């Protein structure tokens, strides 16, 4: 069975996370993602955060599944010529270098589009390619700061906090994949490629559009509320047994029906008629008393029991799963979101898989490639180079 993006070739020059998470999504959906890396060490993510020198980092492995790896020296004229031949034969090129890097090699979009007018060219930058901040470098936490995520995260009176998920990086990658597919659909109509640009700051601003709605009402900065939702009586983190660092659950009742279901599930139906909690406004006014009652109940159950009891009762509840529990979660494993892979150096381990499921295009996860693993395969297929030619190019530092 053909995959959804079968036949689409991607030349992937991205590194670290914002770009690699985008191309991994494309690879999961069946695109042929060819990762272009420098000879020797490869992209920085392979080695910069590895706990074992000389071994690909888990950081790299988790972000580069379903790709092929080739090595190519873009500073060498022969390497540049080979790169241009590859560009002629691909549909998409992705890069997240610092502003002006490819242009300094003479390989910017304005030139590449002349040799392949159908090329879809993705550029990811911290602050885009224009605007006052464009020259500034960025990482995930910089995007979270300048996009508004940190200002919204934390407790009243506390300093801003960085949200744990790398929404500045992978969040940007998801936006980028959407942009690429939109450009590809348009190319089906027009026959022309185009440049797709995603700024990490822009992606974060998109994520915080709903929390920012308070500013439209008050014309003032939105306040940090910690784990409580302003005006919501039952909305927050509650302690569970046996009381460890991650023994918590999150419970939210958005209407009267859910509130009543919660009371019954806790074995406290009398709370339904308690004047202190007669409606959401009163529950918010008496939120400390209410939270103490709920904590007393959750504290007598494990977080797994709380989620099961409330979930079956129709009350939205989520147990706080730590990173080990995520990898071992039976629900995630059954859904194929946590899958076992075997790396030629790291051996077998479990990792997150593809979060998107297409009925007619199931994902077959392939472990991230070793550096240059597919040189012979890709250069043979696309440039017609044989083993002797490749051996000479390797000796000369071209690949």
- State the CATH number of the domain containing residue 369: 3.40.50.10540
226 in any annotated domain: no
For helices 303-313 and 256-265, what crossing angle results, to 10°? Answer: 130
Q: Is residue 311 very low, low, confident or very high in pLDDT (cuts 50, 70, 90)?
A: very high
61 in the same domain as 122: yes
- Mean pLDDT, residues 129-134: 97
Query: Which of these, 64, 9, 3, 18, lies nearest to 37 by C-alpha position?
Result: 64
Query: Three-state SS for 359?
Result: coil
125 in the same domain as 253: no
Query: Three-state SS for 72?
Result: coil
- Mean pLDDT, residues 223-248: 93
pLDDT given at position 230:
80
219 in any annotated domain: no
- Is the C-alpha dihedral spanning 37, 41, 46, 48 positive or negative? negative
Structural contact between residues 291 and 238, judged by C-beta atoms closer than 8 angstroms: yes
List Cβ neighbours of 125 (8 Å cut-off, separation of 6 or more). Answer: 96, 99, 134, 138, 197, 199, 200
213 in any annotated domain: no
Between the CA of residue 187 and those of 53, 175, 240, what are the distances in Å? Answer: 44, 18, 53
Domain CATH for 308? 3.30.1540.10
Among 285, 319, 353, residue at a domain's last position: 319
Range of the domain at 257: 235-239+248-319
Structural contact between residues 17 and 140, judged by C-beta atoms closer than 8 angstroms: yes
**CA 122, CA 389: separation in Å to the nearest integer?**
31
For residue 228, pLDDT over 90 is answered with no
128 in the same domain as 187: yes
188 in any annotated domain: yes
215 in any annotated domain: no
Catalytic residue among 2, 169, 245, 274: 169
Number of neighbours of residue 94 by Cβ within 10 angstroms: 27
**CA 395, CA 145: separation in Å to the nearest integer?**
45
For residue 248, pLDDT over 90 is answered with yes
H-only helix segments in the chain: 18-28, 58-63, 77-88, 101-104, 109-115, 140-147, 149-152, 170-190, 200-207, 213-218, 256-265, 280-285, 287-298, 303-313, 323-328, 330-335, 375-383, 387-395
Quick one: how many helices (H) and strands (E) in the chain? 18, 11
List Cβ neighbours of 271 (8 Å cut-off, separation of 6 or more). Answer: 263, 277, 293
313 in the same domain as 335: no
- Catalytic residue status for 169: yes
- Mean pLDDT, residues 229-238: 90
* Residue % of the chain over a pLDDT of 90: 96
142 in the same domain as 190: yes
30-88 per-position pLDDT tens digit:
999 999 999 999 999 999 889 999 999 999 999 999 999 999 999 999 999 999 999 99
227 in any annotated domain: no
Domain count, the chain: 2
Q: For 7-43, give the secondary structure using H, E and C.
A: CCEEEECCCCCHHHHHHHHHHHCCCEEEEEECCCCCC
169 in the same domain as 48: yes
pLDDT given at position 140:
97
């Amino acid at each position: 069975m053909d995959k959804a993006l079968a036949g689409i070739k991607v030349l992937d020059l991205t590194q670290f996370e914002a770009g690699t998470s985008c191309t991994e999504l494309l690879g999961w959906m069946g695109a042929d993602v060819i990762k272009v890396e420098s000879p020797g060490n490869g992209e920085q993510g392979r080695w910069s955060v590895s706990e074992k020198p000389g071994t690909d980092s888990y950081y790299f492995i988790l972000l580069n599944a379903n790709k092929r790896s080739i090595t190519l020296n873009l500073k060498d004229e022969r390497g540049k010529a080979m790169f241009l031949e590859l560009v002629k034969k691909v549909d998409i090129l992705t890069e997240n270098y610092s502003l002006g890097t490819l242009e300094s090699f003479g390989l910017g979009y304005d030139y590449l589009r002349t040799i392949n007018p159908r090329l879809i060219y993705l550029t990811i930058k911290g602050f885009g390619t224009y605007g006052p901040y464009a020259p500034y470098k960025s990482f995930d936490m910089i995007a979270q700061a300048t996009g508004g995520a940190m200002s919204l995260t934390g407790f009243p009176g506390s300093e801003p906090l960085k949200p744990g998920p790398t929404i500045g990086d992978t969040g940007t990658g998801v936006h980028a994949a959407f942009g690429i597919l939109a450009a590809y659909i348009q190319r089906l109509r027009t026959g022309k490629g185009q440049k797709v640009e995603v700024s990490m700051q822009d992606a974060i601003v998109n994520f915080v559009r709903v929390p920012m709605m308070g500013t439209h009402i008050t014309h003032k900065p939105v306040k940090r509320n910690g784990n409580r939702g302003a005006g919501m009586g039952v909305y927050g983190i509650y302690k569970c047994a046996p009381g460890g660092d991650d023994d918590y659950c999150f419970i939210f009742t958005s209407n009267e029906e859910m509130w009543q279901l919660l009371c019954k599930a806790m074995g406290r139906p009398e709370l339904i008629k308690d004047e202190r909690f007669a409606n959401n406004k009163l529950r918010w006014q008496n939120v400390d008393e209410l939270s103490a009652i709920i904590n007393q109940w959750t504290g007598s159950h494990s977080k797994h029991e709380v989620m099961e009891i409330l979930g079956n009762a129709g009350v939205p509840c989520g147990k706080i799963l730590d990173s080990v529990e995520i990898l071992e979660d039976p629900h995630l494993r059954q859904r194929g979101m946590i899958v076992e892979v075997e790396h030629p150096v790291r051996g077998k381990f479990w990792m997150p898989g593809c979060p998107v499921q297409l009925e007619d295009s199931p994902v077959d996860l392939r472990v991230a490639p070793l550096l240059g693993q597919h040189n012979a395969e890709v250069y043979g297929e696309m440039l017609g180079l044989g083993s002797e030619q490749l051996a000479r190019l390797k000796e000369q530092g071209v690949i």
